[in-house]
Amino acid sequence: MSLHACLYCRVSTEEQSREGFSILAQRDRLMAFCRAQSWDVAGIYVDDGHSGAKLDRPALSRLRQDAKTDLFQLVLVWKVDRLSRKVAHLAALVDEFDRAHVAFRSVTEPFDTSHAAGRAFMQMLGVFAELERENIRERSALGIRKRVEQGFVHGRPTMLGYRFVEKGKLEVDPASAAVVRWIFGQYLAGVGTLRIAQHLINGVSGLQTEVVYREFRHVSAHSVRDRISWILKNPIYAGYAAIGDDLYAGRHEAIIDLTTWQQAQAQIQSRQNIPNRAHASRYLLTGRIICGQCGARMFGYRQPNRSPEARHIRPYYEYYCCRSNSGFQGRNWTCDNWGVKREHAEEVVLGALRGLAVEGIPGRAAPSLPEDPFTADLSRRRQELQASLGQAERRQRNLFRAIEEAPDLDAAVLSRVRELAEEQKRLALELAVVEKALRNGGPGLSRPEVERLLQDVPRILDAAGHDQIRELLRTFVRRVVVTPVERPSKGHSRLFPKEVTVEFYPL
């Protein structure tokens, strides 16, 4: 009975171009070897263009499955590195074949895996195959870097604004290049990447409709945003060829001048340095606005506009919501004062501040409030810290007295003194943070400074940016109280009329 053998052939694209070691050449030599040995060929498995460093290859996966079905008794390759270029993978495959009672043999390398010496020799061949693979990778990386240093772009990324004319060479596409310049212009004007993506999806006047439609209309806004971020960071648009963090003068024409690209990178860096809760600064009254029903603080909240007709005009509705009504941080729904519209509350507060500056109107006295649970927790924590700090100071004084009476005390006592000093420092820092949170601001200015700042309030409100106005409010406004005026029998509590009262710090 003749032996049934399967033939395995593999070549990567790079090996074929470098050595001319084609699939056809391997198959012919393996077939000739089988004829010389009078073996039957049970199957031919071919992986064309697959790396020998990975086991995830279509033909190899089929071969491994067929080995378990007694379809053949021998796996035949031209060279060991055709099966794998990694010793660990090679040993695992041979062990798998052994369990299936399938032998493994190479035409050009004499070994027999049926005994220990043959398996050891096979693994030595695998070591050299893996070494050759590492050398190939190093030579490939060196060749890629050399081409990039010469100004060629590595790979063929999808480049909006360019066309690939040949390997590594780019040519500007005027229509799509205009889209790239528009993206950079919008970003430097302060528009966020998600808003830019929404504009592109909805269409932009002045840009070729076909380009925008082809590139952006059938993609989600978040996917377009990711692509815009990639465009903004890509030095290829500034005329560079890049590999890793290294930039080299490219052979292609730049779409964006170097100054614009550098400004975009600075803008990206500055936006990345904003804390995670920076969006809270959209709400001018955060930290000052309080529910007049339960005394809890209110927080900024925005709700998507679900109207298809008005969504493109106003994507969100914004409110200040009571924490005791919203289930915030696990709180119970103990308050029916849902909140107030952001525009209404901020309009009332800014009007009151303008009245204080222009007419000297001090604002109405805020109604008496229940104790805010948040403030109550801070007060209890302050008492605990003050007691702990006093106790640490007393222990330290006792240790100092003991050291004076017995200067030859051991190092453990001195170590305890240092520990108490560190504990006092930690407690003092935490106490300062708690007291600042309880004070929650205040002018902190002299009377003449306050008067000069009040004179500038109308100009600041008319010309300053959002952050400056927010700081101005924090300087003068002690708290803003939102109280329901009346309670209709039907309807959501957010629809109740609200009275907004502003209380300023004493001047």
Please list the pLDDT of the chain residue by residue as tens digits (507 residues).
678 899 999 887 665 545 556 888 888 889 999 988 889 999 999 988 888 878 889 999 999 999 988 899 999 988 888 888 777 777 778 888 888 888 888 888 776 665 666 666 666 766 666 666 677 677 777 777 887 777 777 766 667 888 877 766 788 888 888 888 888 988 888 888 888 888 888 777 667 777 777 777 777 777 888 888 888 888 888 888 877 777 888 888 888 888 888 888 888 887 665 444 434 457 888 888 988 888 888 888 888 877 777 777 778 888 888 887 755 444 556 677 878 888 999 999 998 888 888 776 554 444 444 454 555 666 777 788 888 888 888 877 777 766 666 555 556 666 777 788 888 888 888 877 777 665 554 455 666 777 788 888 888 888 877 778 888 888 888 889 988 876 655 555 555 678 888 888 766
Q: Tell me which residue of 21, 50, 39, 51 sits closest to 75, measured CA to CA.
A: 39
Is the torsion defined by CA of 106, 111, 116, 121 positive or negative? negative
Q: Give pLDDT, residue 6.
A: 92
User: Token digits for 150?
Assistant: 């010469």
Q: Which stretches within 170-254 are classed as H helix?
A: 174-188, 193-202, 209-216, 221-233
Q: Where are the domains of the chain?
A: 4-145, 162-271
Q: Give pLDDT, residue 429.
A: 80
Q: Is 95 exposed, middle or buried (0-12, 13-18, 19+ CB in 10 A)?
A: exposed
Q: What is the DSSP letter of 42?
A: E
Measure the CA dihedral 128/132/133/139, to 10°.
Answer: 160
Q: For the chain, what is the largest distance between any 2 Cα atoms, rounded to a whole number of angstroms? A: 112
Q: Give pLDDT, residue 8.
A: 93
Q: Is 246 exposed, middle or buried (0-12, 13-18, 19+ CB in 10 A)?
A: exposed
- Please pick, among 2, 12, 223, 281, the residue that the annotation labels catalytic: 12
Q: Tell me which residue of 502, 450, 451 sits closest to 284, measured CA to CA.
A: 502
C-beta of residue 216 within 8 angstroms of C-beta of residue 226: no
Active site residue 12: yes
CATH topology assigned to domain 4-145 = Rossmann fold (3.40.50)
| CATH 3.30.830.10 describes domain 162-271 | no
